[in-house]
Amino acid sequence: MSGQPIPATVDRGGAAGAAPAPALPANAVELVELRGASVEHRLGYFRDAPFVVFGYCPGGGEVIWRDGESSGFGTGGWRMLLYDIAPRAARQGVNLGDTTTAGTHVLLMDRVRGAVYGVTRDEAEAFLGRVYGVPVRTRRCLCALMNCDDCPLRATCKAHRAGGGGGGPSPAGDA
């Protein structure tokens, strides 16, 4: 998959868009046990973008999702992410976090192929930027619910600790 040309943008018309699938991040780890599992609804995603990123936000206690157009959270999706998906991912070296940490990785769902990958947060942001033609966010986490410097879990959140948080106001495009 790596080495395939990456189109400037992907058709947002749905998971069966006409554009060829872009190359995935080089360090993406496929979570084979989740292939074809269609977990996006149980994680709180009900839109139709072909690529969606899911991560855990310990500050809000929820799964945060992002596609190239919007972001949101899935009420109750944290149970599935932390108790079902995270242990499977951990067996493959993918750290999705726990109730006190955001982890170093997020899920990248390729809804065209029915595949789920573990990728670092920075790789996920860069991928969404390339695929959807949107600015890459500077936050070290998917949660844009508050200024990272004000996050009550910043001291324990691995994603924040790794990069020092976003600091300052949210750049355009952070929802």
Domain residues for the domain of 42 are 29-163
Q: Could you tell me the CA-to-CA distances from 64 to 20, 22, 23, 58 in Å, in that order?
A: 26, 23, 23, 10
Q: Mean pLDDT over all residues of the chain? A: 75
Q: How confident is the model at residue 93 (pLDDT cuts 50, 70, 90)?
A: very high
Contact 95, 121 (CB under 8 A): no
Please check whether residue 17 lies inside any domain of the structure: no
Please check whether residue 49 lies inside any domain of the structure: yes
Q: Could you tell me the CA-to-CA distances from 41 to 19, 112, 139, 154, 158 in Å, in that order?
A: 24, 15, 25, 29, 27
Please check whether residue 2 lies inside any domain of the structure: no
Please check whether residue 146 lies inside any domain of the structure: yes
pLDDT 10s digits, 106-159: 999 999 889 999 999 889 989 999 999 888 776 656 665 444 555 554 444 544
Please check whether residue 108 lies inside any domain of the structure: yes
pLDDT 10s digits, 139-154: 656 665 444 555 554 4
Q: How confident is the model at residue 164 (pLDDT cuts 50, 70, 90)?
A: very low
- Domain total of the chain: 1
Report yes or no on whether pTM surpasses 0.75. Answer: no
Please check whether residue 175 lies inside any domain of the structure: no
Please check whether residue 20 lies inside any domain of the structure: no
